[in-house]
Amino acid sequence: MRYVSTRGGSRPLNFESAMLAGLASDGGLYVPEYWPEFTKDFIARLAGQSYEEIAFRIMRPFVGDSFSEGELRGYISRAYDGFGHAARCPLVQIESSSFLLELFHGPTLAFKDFAMQLVAQLFQAALSRRGERATIIGATSGDTGSAAIEAFRGLDSVSVFILFPEGRISEVQRRQMTTPCDANVHALAVRGDFDDCQARVKDMFNDASFRQEMSLAGINSINWARVAAQMVYYFASATALGSPMRKVSFSVPTGNFGDIYAGYAARASGLPIERLVLATNQNDILDRAIRSGQYRTADVRPSLSPSMDIQVSSNFERALYEASGRNGAAVSGMMARLAGEGGFELGEPVLAWLREQFASGNCREDETVETIAEVFRHSGEVVCPHTAVGVKVAWDHAVARRSAPMVILATAHSAKFPDAVKDATGFAPELPSRFDGLGQAAERMHSVDNDLDEIKDAIRRGLPA
């Protein structure tokens, strides 16, 4: 399997090279040259297999010959070993035809662990056999940074520096980044907001000499390897509910379009998905685009579901590529208008394709709190605010059509966002007992001004462990 750029201007790469590169040299995102076809028989035989076995069978054709079968099995096994639930992603029924897919049993209690844990193993393996090292830098509004630090800690081919906005992430999120004591992972508290952090990361990637000096690499949600790892839980949950004999629908709380794009990739590879519901919070650029045909950015309004407070959804470019008939020139044009004019009109046939593939809806702040309360009254389950967005929009759509079971992706543990949950239910949810020491463990972080030179210096020095 080879990977091509959504902008059509980079040469195709294999899985390993596409993973190490992250972004293509023409600014595009890597997508598989074609979709593998998993047959009904193949999908039926996934039922009853372990999560690790399903991951191996689904990822195998995407990985191609980048890793041997034995290597891939080993990395998958190591990646999910530290999860707090044997099923890795258990399904919990909350209503006659609605199920939560609990993706928060990993080491940082959010779905990003599913991809990050595996990508860390694959990165380490690829770099060490090349005799190379890399410095991973990223900006986080919370969940991505902790997932990366937890996944890469202690690996000797990689150093990790995560920039986060000082004082603007939850205490659990901060402690998950600042308490690992391994010398190769570092949390940098920037005196600024999330956009500042993201802008400084971008500046460093655009600085060719710094990029080369430090062998910078990115592991943000546009990395194809992360998408490939996220396809697995769509297959695992659908087969647990009777696929391929029965169609299943999914509702996905969406920010950067990564998780829901993995659902599209599962469908494109043969999984019979009835509806893919895209659920946004009040930062609803994607919902507005699908409803109105206008893809136009607005200011980010901080919400109760901060991991979805995004206006430019990087992975949406991959959907636009499919929607325009895999036309790299058309995608380049759209992205140029986005950068230059702040938006563009989707137009036909792009809009028709998107509406056929995705149902969409959004959830206001008051509806988020109401939904947490309603799910608790209905089922006794306590959901995080991101998950509540997915439930609300799923239920809006399920009224219209009840033929398929609806799986709502539960993207984080409620204890990561205790304030919103307390507003809704009257009590603060507790962390699982394996996190008992988190509140007391010593923190290690470095505060920096929102200043490119100061940040680059801190990274060069490697920071004290």
Ligand X SMILES: *Cc1c(COP(=O)(O)O)cnc(C)c1O
Catalytic residues: 112
**DSSP classification of residue 13:** B
Rounded to whole angstroms, the Cα distance separating 120 from 159 reads: 11
Residue from 10, 254, 362, 371 binding ligand X (CB under 6 A): 254
Structure tokens at 209: 């000499």
Structure tokens at 437: 């020491």
Name the nearest CA neighbour of 319 among 272, 274, 260, 359: 260
Going residue by residue from 90 to 119, which x/- string records binding to ligand X, judged by CB under 6 A? --------------------x-x-------
Rounded to whole angstroms, the Cα distance separating 150 from 120 reads: 9
Residue from 258, 328, 405, 418 binding ligand X (CB under 6 A): 258
186 lies in the binding site for ligand X (CB under 6 A): no
Residue from 1, 31, 197, 308 binding ligand X (CB under 6 A): 308
412 lies in the binding site for ligand X (CB under 6 A): yes
Q: In angstroms, give the least distance from the CB of 438 to ligand X.
A: 18
Q: In angstroms, give the least distance from the CB of 307 to ligand X.
A: 3
Name the nearest CA neighbour of 328 among 2, 1, 10, 36: 10
Q: How far is CA 245 from CA 28, 58, 231, in A?
A: 37, 18, 19
253 lies in the binding site for ligand X (CB under 6 A): yes
Q: Is the peptide bond before 165 cis (omega within 30 degrees of 0)?
A: no
257 lies in the binding site for ligand X (CB under 6 A): yes
Going residue by residue from 357 to 396, which x/- string records binding to ligand X, judged by CB under 6 A? -----------------------------x----------
Going residue by residue from 196 to 225, which x/- string records binding to ligand X, judged by CB under 6 A? -------------------------x----
Going residue by residue from 136 to 165, which x/- string records binding to ligand X, judged by CB under 6 A? -------x----------------------
Give the pairing type, strands 134-139 and 98-102: unpaired
411 lies in the binding site for ligand X (CB under 6 A): yes
Phi, psi of 210 (to 5 degrees): -65, -40
304 lies in the binding site for ligand X (CB under 6 A): no
Q: In angstroms, give the least distance from the CB of 257 to ligand X.
A: 5
Q: Which residues contact 38 (CB under 8 A, 6 or more apart)?
A: 58, 235, 269, 270, 271
Beta bridge partners of 428: none
Stretch that binds ligand X, among 17-25, 154-162, 178-186, 255-263 (CB under 6 A): 255-263
Name the nearest CA neighbour of 406 among 195, 238, 209, 282: 238
Nearer to ligand X, 30 or 67 (CB): 30
Rounded to whole angstroms, the Cα distance separating 155 from 184 reads: 7
Binding stretches for ligand X (CB under 6 A): 110, 112, 143, 221, 253-259, 307-308, 386, 411-412
